[in-house]
Amino acid sequence: MAGTKIPAGETWRGSQRCVNYYPLRSFTGIKITTGTTPLEVTSAVRRLGENMRLARVRRRMNQEELAQACGITRKTLYALESGAPGTTIGTALTVLWKLGLLDGAAALADPEADEHGKILEAARRPQRVRHPADSENDF
């Protein structure tokens, strides 16, 4: 491979060519791949990050302090606040816990608030329930 020019967005691993089909860089410098995450999810993650940043600033904490308290690096916290979809849910919940906002996160997938799921479950229930015949031969 010596002397071979590799086009932008491609890398070589051994003899295999790896292509990044949607290489983009956001204004934060964090690599974002479109096509893998729906736009609605990306927007929700970005809003969550902005809300976390606002909560941190209101508590007069800098990124280094919060990151250290959560056991993560400052770069990870920066990525989370910037809306990078690659950060783990465990990291996000840890930051919310440290900010005192974990109670709101517990309601994210609350089955009691899932109206669509309740309708589907009700549609699958049998219309009539048959009781077993009385058995006089109970041994």
Asked if the structure places residue 131 within a domain, the reply is no
Within-domain flag for 25: yes
Number of domains in the chain: 1
CATH number of the domain enclosing 75: 1.10.260.40
Task: Let me know if residue 129 belongs to a domain.
Answer: no
Is 75 a member of any domain? Answer: yes
In which band, very low, low, confident or very high, does the pLDDT at 90 lie, cut at 50, 70 and 90? very high
> Is residue 110 in some structural domain?
no
pLDDT in tens, 47-85: 999 999 999 999 999 999 999 999 999 999 999 999 998
Residue 74 forms part of a structural domain: yes
**Does residue 48 lie in a domain region?**
yes
Q: Are 1 and 12 in contact (CB under 8 A)?
A: yes
Q: Which domain holds residue 83?
A: 17-103
What SS3 class is residue 58?
A: helix
pTM across the whole model: 0.62
Q: Tell me if 43 is assigned to some domain.
A: yes
pLDDT score, position 98: 96
Q: Where are the alpha helices (DSSP H) in the chain?
A: 39-58, 63-70, 74-82, 89-99, 102-105, 115-124
